[in-house]
Structure 1
Amino acid sequence: MAICTTFAQNTGPITIKGIVVEQTGGQPVSFATVMVADNETKKPISGTTTLDDGSFVLETEANNFYIEISFLGFQTRTFGQPEVRSKTIDLGTIELSEDAEQLKEVVVRGEESVTEFKLDKRVFNVGKDLSTTGASALDVLNNVPSVNVSIEGQISLRGSAGVQVLINGKPSIIASEEGNTLGTITADMIDRVEVITNPSAKYDAEGTSGIINIVIKKEERKGFNGSVSVNAGAPENNSVGISLNRRTEKFNLFSQIGVGFRDLPNDIDNRNVDLINNTTILTTGEEFRNENYYNFILGTDYYLSPNDVITLSGNFALELEDQPSTTNFAALDASDEITSQWERNETTEATNPKFQYELQYKKDFKGDEDHTLMFSALGSFFGKDQSSDFLDTTISGENNDDAQRTRTDFKESVFTFKLDYTLPLAKKWTMETGTQYVLNDVSNDFEVNDLIGGEFINDPGLTNIFEFDQKVLGLYGTGAYEGEKWGVKGGLRLEQTDLNTILINTNEINDQNYTNLFPSVHTSYKFSEKISLQAGYSKRIYRPRLWDLNPFFNIRNNFNIRQGNPDLMPEFTDSYEVTSIFFIGRTSLNFGVYHRYTTDVIERISIFENNVNTVRPENIGTNRATGMEFNTKYSPVKWLTLNADFNYSQFARDGSFDGTVFDFSANQWSSKLMTKVKLPADIDLEATGNYRSSYETVQGRISEMAFLDLGLRKKMFKGRGVLNLSVRDAFASRIRENEISQENFFIYSRRLRGTFVAFGFSYGFGKGEAMEFTGARRRF
């Protein structure tokens, strides 16, 4: 059996959104520049400028991300790439502008946060979530209603992957799969997260289950501002970050430098059972990904006039990876007696340079602040020079001594060009139009060498060069009406996709060219000051990512292999939903129902032979999902706040693969309860409990999961200094267990990361305030 390896990141859906307000007073900050660059195989790059009300939205769907965000007039933040295995990483460009969307909104103002219920989105202010203090953007997202982040870092919305994650409304290196900067963006840097479960035609059609836009804070204060942060954690997660900002009436210069080290252990346990031959392979081990990282951001904003601003920014990052991993194997016969044991040791080193840059121009036309024109050009590069040595040592029984070497030379470039125009036609009418062009060019040169006769010989069957080239052109137009009580918005988006992949050595070519229309309709009605209703429909697409298509293997565990499928086709989803908001006293209640119909669903299928489990994505039929969602916030007393979130969905699968029918119905649900307590001496305590039910897959079952996150914050020096303590997965119960039970084989897998404890101190100087910087979050 051919066995190859790819150590690049798996993709996953990520959403980034936020609002920029002053930490003291909560006043909005306008003209904030957010730069998002995705340096993963499917990482888009984008940037945006906040509106006069300080709002901006950005989403990026990536599992291996490199994200860097810079804020005009205040602190620049870099988000390290999360370790995600999700395949849904669409770096679509999303610009959330108050100008573009003059839609009626209901604002619920709480003691610590603001919730906005708009025509086509919900906005959650998460700037003071203690359990995510000092944590990465993925940890912040895990505390947002409707959003879940798996133990592998995969982002899902209402239980479904295929989420597009943006930063400040645009694709970015920060949200890419290849990048590693999501972890360098902390909770205090995120002003808000916008959840768009049914995006309008203005937004990139990528992301079947919706868009998450992470909005980064930016202070619009004149003069010199700055902040310094020091963080330490166990397992090791140490970093130092410095942010500087200088602003005048016409000019703003911002920069950030971050240095750190992070160690991520991962316990694994697998059991492969051949029910035909009654043989078993047991696998246990501990994987590590140690990383030194260096980030540097430099950018400038220049106001040509009060209505014209141009932004030029760039980022450079370097990651030095070390992956010492040990895997123990045991072979059992039909009597469950051990016939042989051996150990596989891996030594992997990688150097990952990353570049990202953005040019943006925004014009506000005189006489109407909602009349805007914006152009942005973003580019990114991610490289990986990686080498791995594998040594198998026999412990007992059959001789399994062996040695292998692999080499990976990976390069990816992504370019995104976007033009958006918003025109108010009358007091209650608004028109939007624009275009976007995204180019993604990837080359992955991979080779395997086997030790034969004391010499390493190249294996031509496992050595190849995979070229990935994708171009997506989009055009859109929307029209919106906003009345006193009723509003409606309709739009149509056209996207043309040209995808080409080729395995150079074997000349295996896969060309796909398709054009699609994506309509959307949204409406809202305000029955009273206490009751509002929102309804919407949109059509979405999920394009297979690079690592969905790349056929190379990963030979870290050569009995459990992940492989791409070059022939994979895109998913299409029709999404319907109705959402309501109620105000009862000091409590706000949100309740919604939704339905999604997806064709050509991409599922990871296990193919079992000789105790080797090869997981490969395939298009398996259709899926109909219907669900309900409920979330609320309640403050019975000033010192106590409760946030609850509940989601239930029932789905029906229809499809077949290789003569096997995968028709079945199942359900899943998740809940989250966050408790915030204000203590004396400016101390805040937060506890967040999460529960996710077990659910069926096309071949097996994913087990239930319950875990608790804790956070403690102490303000000092009149708010300029902040001490933070956070404990994630306090009881080490965030365990992912997967069982696949078929007629001829049984597979069990278990993965545990364990408890993470982080402590940090931040101090703001000049006109700045304390903002945390933390180490990069790594990928698998």
Structure 2
Amino acid sequence: MSIGAKWTLFTEFLQIFFLFHTIFGVETKIPMTLLKEPKHSFLLILTLLFSFWTIEAQVKTVEFTGKVVDTSTGQGVAYATVMVANNNTKKAIVGTTTLEDGSFMLKTDATDYYIEISFIGFEKKIIQKPNSDDLKIDLGVIQIAEDTQKLEEVVVQGEVSKTVFKLDKRVFNVGKDLSSAGASALEVLNNVPSVNVNIEGQISLRGSQGVQVLINGKPSIITSDESNALGTITADMIDRVEVITNPSAKYDAEGTSGIINIVIKKEERRGLNGSVSVNTGAPDSHSVGVSLNKRTEKFNLFTQLGAGYRELPNDSESRNTDLTTNTTILSIGEEFRNEAYYNFVLGTDYYFNPTSVLTLSGNFALEIEDQPSTTNFSSLSGTDIVTSEWERTEITEATNPKFQYELQYKKDFKGNEDHTLLFSALGNFFGKDQSSEFTDTTISGTNNDNSQLTRTDFKEAVFTFKLDYTKPFTEELTWETGAQYVLNDVSNDYEVQNLINGAFQVDPGLTNIFEYDQKVLGLYTTGAYEGKKWGVKGGLRLEQTNLNTFLTNTGEDNSQDYGNLFPSLHTSYKFSEKISLQAGYSKRIYRPRMWDLNPFFNIRNNFSIRQGNPELMPEFTDSYEVTSIFFIGKTALNLGVYHRYTTDVIERISMFENNVNTTRPENIGTNKTTGIEFNTKYSPVKWLTFNADLNYNQFSREGIFEAIVFDFNAERWSSKLMTKVKFPADIDLEATGNYRSSYQTVQGEVNDYAFMDLGLRKKLMKGKAILNLSVRDIFASRISESQIAQADFEVYSRRQRGRFVAFGFSYGFGKGEAMQYSGGRRR
């Protein structure tokens, strides 16, 4: 073989070698002249030898093993981070997390590195490169100690939690002052301006409850009324909290108190969070609950089990006076709603990759009700002389099954985490199988003996399908579009039987099956420009509503088919780091609920009856709002001015006949409301915090009903002051005072009331366990009173629930925070 042929063969071998060389990941640039000219063979051989040496060094992989333990307890630390970092750049090369027992294993082929062990709430541990040529190195037991530095010492500029204004929302960025403290999501929310969380975990926005809480922009069973599993999310997992008080066209046009969106960090997916709670109280209220949240690289599994029993007594009084006949019916009673309940939540998030996640979850709950009540009636003449007395007793039993599911898929497009696609399908089911027995027994005077039986078979299904797409074109310009379809199907089978001649007979005038079917299709689009100081966002939402109600027995039906446009416009301007201004407009709708439309009623008190109106129309509101935020030191002051104009206002109107007061919703004219809202959080010293909310408004009513003019001007206001005191030994005291003023209605007046709640909390085991004592309405002063004064009749009503005392113990394990389980919302 000639030298040229041999050289050709050799160069082909080199080319194959360099191909494998590239696969190994080492890039070596070889001038092509070296492969063409034999005279350069010496340089080529040197290059080849260097390449072999590089590969040999690269493929020398070292495997490290060890176990991370807590210095104080000697127990393994699960999910601690073990990282190999470059000595020069300090950047991570490779990393892993410890297992449940604190053990770990990782490999590296780096040559200039150090090993770092870290975990939230613990001091970092640095291990220099071991002086060993072994390919398997056991680092043994590595002890890490809790970080005992004071919180203020680890807070640096740019890492303190703060609020900034964005076009249609306020964004609270979570800094190290909270994330390093190991706080729960509820504690983070309590630091957000305008948001309050009381010691029982109830969330309110600007002093109003009924807030919709989202996780990463979507509903979650974790935040549902049937679960309070927010305690399983810790502050170090939260990137930011978004507060929306005047939603844009992207959101339902149906009115709410506001939206709170908790955005979770993408990298915080691993960990075990859990909590166990036991609670008791008076009147009887007992529960036990277990919450678990397990995060791995691919899965996030969450579950909750709960069971309990509670009583809700209610004292009532009413006085119906017929000014024409000068007679009065007085009723004084005590009602109970006793309930055993069971709750089960199970769900999972599956991450196909870092940009795609699928969520599937379900919630099943069962309530078993017992509602005994006794009401004493008196019939009075004009001189308040008792002409007859009788007692009405009720025995009611009901079984209420509930089921909720959610299926959601979210896709984040590569290159921009704000470029997203979200699809969700939600289903809610509720049923009620109820039977009641009413017995009237005459005590004196006129014979009022009577017996009645009622039966209710109620079924409701709600399906919600959503599709949302967000596309940022630049850092300043963003476009959003999407659709939503909501189906609500209800059937209420109600029957009344009267005892006649010793046998129960169906009352055809009070018995019927009410069918309710509503479909709402929504389409929206928004466009936004957001610069460093100024931004604007406009949107338009189209909603088509189709509503049908049908009374099966009588054949009466009512159909409504209407489409509406809901525009929105928001803007914000940042004057400085301490002063920002935000303004917004949106059009809202309130659609009558099933109970607003159902013409049949409950006969618990057959002299005070609530009835629905199948011909009721929706009310529409134009909402304008200007809000400012001022930072004075560490205190944030929020001041807002708003105006709302509502048409076809729904009011409950009283109709009076034979001392029977029947209230029925009607569309009564318009309402103009102009108000001011103020809230702030102020801590004069570290151990004392004040949280104040004030809402004052004036309103003007105009309307006519059955030739009667309802025109008047009035005002109302409400306030709340929450005081938190931190005592030594990890004891917290919380006192909340509430006041609601009296206000005028179209036919009368609702009285004012004031009440106070008290809470005491003691942390144990470094915050992992909590003892909790709460007293609601400590002075039993929360009394609801109203009067209706008309030319021919007067009605007075009074209701009071009284004082509630609760005591609980909860324990959090893993990365979970201790939390309380209360059983969710009743229906």
Residue 765 of structure 1 pairs with residue 808 of structure 2: no
| Separation in 1, partners of 2:172, 2:501 | 73
Provide closer, same or farther for how the CA distance between residues 456 and 625 of structure 1 changes in structure 2, counting only shifts above 3 A. Answer: same
Provide closer, same or farther for how the CA distance between residues 749 and 126 of structure 1 changes in structure 2, counting only shifts above 3 A. Answer: farther
| Separation in 2, partners of 1:448, 1:722 | 50
Alignment partner, residue 574 of structure 1: 622
Q: Where does 1:329-728 land on structure 2 (aligned, <5 Å)?
A: 329-728=377-776
Whether the 8 Å CA contact 2:327–2:380 is kept in 1: the answer is yes
| Separation in 2, partners of 1:483, 1:216 | 22
Higher helix share: 2
| Separation in 2, partners of 1:434, 1:498 | 20
**1:198 counterpart (246, 269, 272):** 246
Provide closer, same or farther for how the CA distance between residues 766 and 587 of structure 1 changes in structure 2, counting only shifts above 3 A. Answer: closer
Q: CA deviation at 1:647?
A: 1.1
Q: Aligned to 1:369, what secondary structure does the other structure show?
A: coil
- After TM superposition, the structure 1 stretch with the greater mean CA deviation from structure 2, 746-755 or 583-592, is 583-592
Q: Aligned to 2:372, what secondary structure does the other structure show?
A: strand
Alignment partner, residue 310 of structure 2: 262
Alignment partner, residue 200 of structure 2: 134
Residues 396-435 of structure 1: CA distance to partner in whole angstroms, max 9, x if unpaired? 1111110000000011111100000111110111111100
Amino acid across the alignment from 1:647: N
Q: CA deviation at 1:670?
A: 1.0
Alignment partner, residue 309 of structure 1: 357
Amino acid across the alignment from 1:433: T
Q: Aligned to 1:233, what secondary structure does the other structure show?
A: strand
Residues 620-665 of structure 1: CA distance to partner in whole angstroms, max 9, x if unpaired? 0000111111111111111111111111100000001111110000
Alignment partner, residue 145 of structure 1: 206
Alignment partner, residue 281 of structure 1: 329
Provide closer, same or farther for how the CA distance between residues 231 and 210 of structure 1 changes in structure 2, counting only shifts above 3 A. Answer: closer
Alignment partner, residue 225 of structure 2: 182
Amino acid across the alignment from 2:650: I
| Separation in 2, partners of 1:102, 1:692 | 29
Whether the 8 Å CA contact 1:229–1:761 is kept in 2: the answer is yes
Whether the 8 Å CA contact 1:167–1:214 is kept in 2: the answer is yes
Runs of at least 5 residues in structure 1 that lack an aligned partner in the other structure: 1-23, 25-97, 115-121, 150-154, 156-163, 176-180
| Separation in 2, partners of 1:733, 1:112 | 37
Q: Where does 1:235-250 land on structure 2 (aligned, <5 Å)?
A: 235-250=283-298
| Separation in 2, partners of 1:130, 1:633 | 10
Alignment partner, residue 47 of structure 1: none
- Could you say which structure has the larger radius of gyration? 2
| Separation in 2, partners of 1:369, 1:186 | 26
| Separation in 2, partners of 1:341, 1:184 | 46
Runs of at least 5 residues in structure 2 that lack an aligned partner in the other structure: 1-79, 81-163, 181-187
Whether the 8 Å CA contact 2:194–2:638 is kept in 1: the answer is no
| Separation in 2, partners of 1:588, 1:716 | 31
Runs of 4+, deviation exceeding 6 Å: 100-104, 108-114, 126-131, 171-175, 189-194, 216-219
Q: CA deviation at 1:112?
A: 7.2
Alignment partner, residue 29 of structure 1: none
Q: Where does 1:159-178 land on structure 2 (aligned, <5 Å)?
A: 165=212, 168=215
Residues 356-375 of structure 1: CA distance to partner in whole angstroms, max 9, x if unpaired? 11110001111111111110
Q: Aligned to 1:547, what secondary structure does the other structure show?
A: helix
| Separation in 2, partners of 1:742, 1:112 | 56
Whether the 8 Å CA contact 1:134–1:760 is kept in 2: the answer is no
Q: Where does 1:222-241 land on structure 2 (aligned, <5 Å)?
A: 222-241=270-289
Whether the 8 Å CA contact 1:422–1:433 is kept in 2: the answer is yes
Whether the 8 Å CA contact 1:468–1:500 is kept in 2: the answer is yes
| Separation in 1, partners of 2:171, 2:488 | 37
Provide closer, same or farther for how the CA distance between residues 333 and 687 of structure 1 changes in structure 2, counting only shifts above 3 A. Answer: same
Q: Aligned to 1:400, what secondary structure does the other structure show?
A: coil
Whether the 8 Å CA contact 1:127–1:188 is kept in 2: the answer is no
Q: CA deviation at 1:554?
A: 1.1
Q: CA deviation at 1:188?
A: 4.7
Whether the 8 Å CA contact 1:108–1:588 is kept in 2: the answer is no
Q: Aligned to 1:718, what secondary structure does the other structure show?
A: helix
| Separation in 2, partners of 1:724, 1:384 | 34
Residues 490-510 of structure 1: CA distance to partner in whole angstroms, max 9, x if unpaired? 100000000000001001100
| Separation in 2, partners of 1:480, 1:424 | 9
Alignment partner, residue 92 of structure 2: none
| Separation in 1, partners of 2:422, 2:391 | 57
| Separation in 1, partners of 2:331, 2:651 | 24
Q: CA deviation at 1:546?
A: 0.5
Residues 98-140 of structure 1: CA distance to partner in whole angstroms, max 9, x if unpaired? 9x989785769897799xxxxxxx98647999983335x4xx3
**1:211 counterpart (244, 249, 258):** 258
Whether the 8 Å CA contact 1:129–1:187 is kept in 2: the answer is no
Alignment partner, residue 59 of structure 2: none
| Separation in 1, partners of 2:174, 2:355 | 31
| Separation in 1, partners of 2:424, 2:754 | 42
Whether the 8 Å CA contact 1:385–1:410 is kept in 2: the answer is yes
Provide closer, same or farther for how the CA distance between residues 769 and 213 of structure 1 changes in structure 2, counting only shifts above 3 A. Answer: closer
Whether the 8 Å CA contact 2:221–2:361 is kept in 1: the answer is no
- Cα RMSD of the aligned pairs, angstroms, is 2.9
Q: CA deviation at 1:766?
A: 2.9
| Separation in 2, partners of 1:430, 1:214 | 19
| Separation in 2, partners of 1:582, 1:487 | 19
Alignment coverage as a number of residue pairs: 651
| Separation in 2, partners of 1:548, 1:418 | 27
Q: CA deviation at 1:243?
A: 1.4
Q: Aligned to 1:434, what secondary structure does the other structure show?
A: strand
Whether the 8 Å CA contact 2:193–2:636 is kept in 1: the answer is no
Q: CA deviation at 1:210?
A: 4.7
**2:348 counterpart (300, 303, 312):** 300
Q: Aligned to 1:204, what secondary structure does the other structure show?
A: coil
Whether the 8 Å CA contact 1:272–1:746 is kept in 2: the answer is yes
Alignment partner, residue 97 of structure 2: none
| Separation in 1, partners of 2:395, 2:242 | 41
Q: CA deviation at 1:197?
A: 3.4
Alignment partner, residue 320 of structure 2: 272
| Separation in 1, partners of 2:368, 2:174 | 45
Provide closer, same or farther for how the CA distance between residues 405 and 516 of structure 1 changes in structure 2, counting only shifts above 3 A. Answer: same
Q: CA deviation at 1:445?
A: 0.6
| Separation in 1, partners of 2:232, 2:816 | 13
Q: Aligned to 2:596, what secondary structure does the other structure show?
A: helix
Normalised to the residue count of structure 2, the TM-score between the two structures is 0.75
